[in-house]
Chains A and B, each alone.
Chain A
Amino acid sequence: MLFNSIEYFYFFVVAYLFYWALAKKQLVFQNAFLLVSSYVFYGWWDYRFLGLIFISTVIDFFLAKQIYTIQESQIKKLLLSLSLCVNLGLLAFFKYYNFFIDSWVELLTSVGYEFNSITTLEIILPVGISFYTFQTLSYTIDVYYGRLKPSKSFINFATFVSLFPQLVAGPIERARNLLPQLEQPRTFSKSLLLQGLYLMLWGLFKKIVIADSLAPLTDKVFEDPSLYNGGTLLLGLLYFTFQIYCDFSGYSDIAIGTAKCFGFQFKTNFNFPYFAQNISDFWRRWHMSLSNWFRDYIFIPLGGSKVSTIKFIRNILVVFLVSGLWHGANWTYVFWGLTHALIYFITQYIKLPIHSSGFKNIVTTCFTFIAVMIAWVFFRSPTISFAFEYLTDLVMRFSIPQYPLKGLYYIFILLFFDFCFRTNPQHIFKGFSSFQKQLSIIVFIAFIWVHFSSSPKNFIYFQF
């Protein structure tokens, strides 16, 4: 079920009413209702893959309990490995099997071997598998390291894994943040509800009005870049830069807003990323739940930054490579990750300052924005060579863009509101007078109504 569909609207209203009607009953009823609702939400897309979530949930629930109770470190390690194998195994099979086979065959063919019998499989990628796999993994790892006590209630844990606002495209919530909230009764709060609804409205505006309007322009330019001059390619790239931001941050806002309506507080996932002053600042603002995951479960265990220079470079490369691969089973994503690593090393080398003020601030922000924008070419292109050709054409055939201006209007609207007025990523009308708030709501509703489509477009991050 898509957040930008009419089905979700009905689902939300019904779930909301039942949920708060159950608030006076025992907590278990409320959580059980959330669990069933979440499975309905996911099953709406494809009920066959509910089994995968269930397997992942059952295995991690019981393994975490065992890890916590057993004292022998060897067995603990074995159980953790089992959890990692099952979760990553499922992810590897459904997401990367064909990619690995193709790459392997390509590699061996290039050195002279011939294959006749190896075939790829027609595997459907289960929506959200990368998200809930990382979520359950973090739980088991946290229990293993003693940072968290395992959940006593299977229903609570299953609800944590499958909670519908964040199930298919994040934010990747940590058990440390979400499980305690599930174990306490939620109390209705009008201000939280309003905050949630405002955030959902803003998320829908970003997705339906901006991202979905920029998408056809981007698609057209990336369909055949050879038709356009460099200026137009630059515009196409600029449009994609804002399309992906509005698409994904829009999803996160709706997810966080929905969670607020149900009495939960999710962590912020986007914090004005295109205002970042260097690449590490960008990753502290973009898809924060994923960057924090990589920081806590890969970068720091590898030694973090308190190691020799060589090891530090290795750690950075590993994190960005894994980040790229997490996004998709294609070398373009890997290259996108590497590009970010490269930008990181360059900014470290030239010691790009952060939190500087005035003109310097503008320069560093622009530099980071352009670097991030260039990296998006690899993310959006079907192949690496396509991306290089795109960038070469952009530079070599640069002239004033022939067209199209339409997307610039949408970007202007976003910048006008997001960067001129909004100050808090989760509390969007903070500091607004009641008139400004009403006016903004009215404008959002009008734009969403006009741009709403009865056949909603998927979110880009669903494919990850």
Chain B
Amino acid sequence: MKSIIRYGFLVFAFFLSIEGAFKLKYYHDKEFYPSNLETPSEKYRAMWDDVSIKANTKSEDKQRLFLIGDSFLDAEEYGGKESYIPYFTQLTLKNDWELYNLSLAGTSINDHKKVMDQIEGQPNNIYVFSIKIHDVLKLTEVIGVNPVSSSMPSSKSFQSEVITLLSKSDLVYLLKDILHHFFMWWNHTPAPHTHLYKTLVHPSSDKLENLSTFLCDLNNKSGTLIVLVNYPYNFKYDVNELNNFKLYRHLSSISCSDLLLFQSPLIINEKESVDWRNVHPNSISMKKVFNFIQQEIEKNQ
């Protein structure tokens, strides 16, 4: 009994230390990092305001490349030095194009949509629009359906309060990550009952419809649109079983005219992420994806 208590305490101490270590590691003094005083959405809006006039000036002789996305495009602030920006900068310099980098870590598809709405379409515009799959369900906020009111009961249940509490724990995130890896290895899906699982395997039809409408609307804008849908880069997918993901099937079947939509597992099918927990692409996968997008741009010139 004594040794059970002893080892039980040690296990508890281990988990407590992990939680403490995470809290310390990701503790940021807001004042020390002035960038934390503004939310990513606010910063993103300011980024757009800085370039909006120039970006919307009519120009017939100059190609313009817009990079729109979140940390999957520009992950410098997100656990690594990886970024697509140098690659695209090189590309635009080589071709004498204008580059508009509208990618910022921490922003969501809603922020990107707002900016996309404000870009005036022009035939010589190229938009590289990066979406992470975690964001897909959030899109309903933009379309007008309140996801909170539609998917959750209005009064907070005990269960939802527990979930809110647990979601603040880094240890829970760690365990969830471990479960994701286990289930991906075991049956090629993320861990059941998680946000990622719901998004990939059981997204609601309404939300998928909204996504299609959104993407088709974007595609109607004058210029070339390339949509890159990023799946977590720390999993290796079984390409033959991707059809088990409802989201994948839906994205593959969107039938707007000439929509150039690419899903990352079909470009990269290795665990080429920043590390086993960080779902962002590392420099190797960025290079591969960049080469792929570059070819697509050249094909459509």
Docked CA distance A449–B15 (Å): 12
Are B21 and A405 in contact, with the CB atoms below 8 A? Answer: no
Instruction: Say yes or no for B28: interface residue by CB 8 A criterion.
Output: yes
- Contacts A438-B10, A442-B14: A450 and B31 contacting too (C-beta < 8 A)? no
A450 partner, pick from B6, B10, B18, B29, beta carbons under 8 A: B18
Docked CA distance A213–B26 (Å): 10
Q: Which residues on B sit within 8 Å (CB–CB) of A447?
A: 17, 20-21
CB distance from A448 to the nearest CB of B (A): 9
- Contacts A447-B21, A450-B21, A454-B274: A442 and B29 contacting too (C-beta < 8 A)? no
- Contacts A409-B24, A450-B25, A454-B274: A403 and B10 contacting too (C-beta < 8 A)? no
Chain B positions 1-50 with a Cβ under 8 Å from a chain A Cβ:
6, 10, 13-15, 17-18, 20-22, 24-25, 27-29, 31-32
Q: Which residues on A sit within 8 Å (CB–CB) of B270?
A: none
CB distance from B171 to the nearest CB of A (A): 10
Docked CA distance A213–B81 (Å): 17
Chain A positions 368-409 with a Cβ under 8 Å from a chain B Cβ:
402-406, 409
B10 partner, pick from A406, A439, A451, A455, beta carbons under 8 A: A439
Are A404 and B29 in contact, with the CB atoms below 8 A? Answer: yes
- Contacts A220-B32, A403-B32, A406-B28: A442 and B17 contacting too (C-beta < 8 A)? yes
Q: Which residues on B sit within 8 Å (CB–CB) of A443?
A: 13-14, 17
B29 partner, pick from A213, A403, A439, A453, beta carbons under 8 A: A403
Instruction: Say yes or no for A107: interface residue by CB 8 A criterion.
Output: no
CB distance from A217 to the nearest CB of B (A): 7
A455 partner, pick from B13, B25, B80, beta carbons under 8 A: B80
Chain B positions 258-301 with a Cβ under 8 Å from a chain A Cβ:
274-275
Docked CA distance A449–B274 (Å): 16
A405 partner, pick from B22, B25, B29, B81, beta carbons under 8 A: B29
Docked CA distance A447–B18 (Å): 6
Chain B positions 59-95 with a Cβ under 8 Å from a chain A Cβ:
80-81
Q: Which residues on A sit within 8 Å (CB–CB) of B13?
A: 439, 442-443
Instruction: Say yes or no for A410: interface residue by CB 8 A criterion.
Output: yes
A213 partner, pick from B14, B25, B274, beta carbons under 8 A: B25
Q: Which residues on B sit within 8 Å (CB–CB) of A405?
A: 29
Q: Which residues on B sit within 8 Å (CB–CB) of A217?
A: 32
Are A451 and B27 in contact, with the CB atoms below 8 A? Answer: no
- Contacts A439-B10, A443-B13, A454-B275: A404 and B32 contacting too (C-beta < 8 A)? yes
Chain A positions 403-419 with a Cβ under 8 Å from a chain B Cβ:
403-406, 409-410
- Contacts A220-B32, A439-B13: A406 and B24 contacting too (C-beta < 8 A)? yes
For A409, the closest partner residue in chain B by CB is: B24
CB distance from A139 to the nearest CB of B (A): 42
Among B15, B24, B275, which residue has the most Cβ atoms of chain A within 10 A? B24
CB distance from A79 to the nearest CB of B (A): 50
Are B21 and A406 in contact, with the CB atoms below 8 A? Answer: no
Are A402 and B18 in contact, with the CB atoms below 8 A? Answer: no
Q: Which residues on A sit within 8 Å (CB–CB) of B6?
A: 435
Instruction: Say yes or no for A362: interface residue by CB 8 A criterion.
Output: no
Are A406 and B29 in contact, with the CB atoms below 8 A? Answer: yes
Instruction: Say yes or no for A55: interface residue by CB 8 A criterion.
Output: no
Q: Give me 9 A-to-B residue pairs in the complex whose CB atoms sit less than 8 angstroms apart, sorted by A's number.
A: A404-B31, A405-B29, A406-B27, A409-B24, A409-B27, A442-B10, A451-B25, A453-B275, A454-B274
A403-B32, A443-B13, A453-B275 known; 14 new pairs, CB 8 Å cut-off, are A402-B32, A403-B31, A404-B31, A405-B29, A406-B29, A435-B6, A446-B15, A446-B17, A446-B18, A446-B20, A446-B21, A449-B21, A450-B18, A455-B81
